[in-house]
């Protein structure tokens, strides 16, 4: 349940995927390391402006690994993330060596631990829940007493939901009319 994920995840945050790279872990699996620029910490704040989220699968050279079901974060997209503890087993060892203080963690409960922000709401794709940011933060406060703070410790102000969503235009006509379908010899 959402409540179990909130209470059992090590860290909760809001952030945006800035960079991604693939690597091979000690077990030979290909993973993607996603750099997340942190907008707000909700649980166990680290006062860091970026963290690194490990997702299973990726393309490394001429090899690819597709893991299903598994969360796949998209560069440039925003997420509400529930994370496990810092991972020292499946982490990117070369990156850890160069940046020993950087958190590398899997999403808690895999795909259930990453809610994508679209059309003014955070979407839990597997539970078909979609909440505006302000409602999500109010629910986290009610459920677990969590308060959103920026990495510098100042309060995070939730975005208001405008009620507008991305719309696609309806096709009402096309030209030439009439048009034949298929191939004509």
The residues with which 47 forms a beta bridge, in sequence order, are: none
Is residue 166 predicted with pLDDT exceeding 60? no
**Proportion of the chain above pLDDT 70, given as a percent:** 88
Is residue 18 predicted with pLDDT exceeding 70? yes
- At residue 126, the pLDDT reads 82
Is residue 185 predicted with pLDDT exceeding 70? no
- At residue 11, the pLDDT reads 97
pLDDT one-digit tens code per residue, 77-125 = 999 999 999 999 999 999 999 999 999 999 999 999 999 999 999 999 7
Asked if residue 78 lies in contact with residue 19, where contact means CB atoms within 8 angstroms, the answer is no
H or E, element range at 15 = strand 11-24
pLDDT one-digit tens code per residue, 55-86 = 999 999 999 999 988 899 999 999 999 999 99
Three-state secondary structure call for residue 23: strand
Cβ burial, residue 50 (10 Å; 0-12/13-18/19+): middle
DSSP codes joined into one string, 54-102? EEE-EEETTEEE--SS-----TT-EEEEEE-SPPSSSS-HHHHHH-TTS
Is residue 132 predicted with pLDDT exceeding 70? yes
Which of these ranges, 19-28, 52-61, 169-178, has the smallest mean pLDDT? 169-178
- At residue 184, the pLDDT reads 60
Residue 171's pLDDT band (cuts 50, 70, 90): low
Is residue 137 predicted with pLDDT exceeding 70? yes
Residue 170's pLDDT band (cuts 50, 70, 90): low
């Amino acid at each position: 349940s959402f409540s179990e994920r909130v209470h059992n995840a090590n860290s909760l945050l809001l952030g945006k995927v800035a960079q991604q790279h693939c690597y091979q872990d000690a077990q030979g699996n290909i993973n993607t390391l996603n750099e997340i620029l942190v907008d707000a910490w909700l649980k166990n704040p680290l006062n860091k402006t970026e963290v690194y989220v490990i997702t299973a699968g990726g393309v490394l050279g001429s090899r690819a690994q597709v893991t299903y079901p598994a969360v796949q974060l998209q560069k440039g997209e925003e997420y509400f993330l529930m994370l496990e503890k810092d991972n020292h087993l499946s982490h990117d060892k070369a990156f850890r060596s160069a940046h020993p203080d950087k958190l590398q963690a899997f999403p808690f409960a895999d795909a259930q631990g990453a809610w994508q922000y679209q059309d003014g709401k955070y979407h839990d794709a597997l539970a078909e829940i979609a909440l505006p940011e302000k409602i999500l933060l109010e629910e986290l406060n009610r459920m677990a007493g969590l308060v959103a703070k920026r990495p510098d410790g100042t309060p995070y102000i939730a975005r208001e939901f405008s009620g507008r969503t991305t719309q696609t235009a309806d096709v009402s006509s096309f030209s030439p009319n009439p048009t034949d379908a298929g191939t004509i010899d």
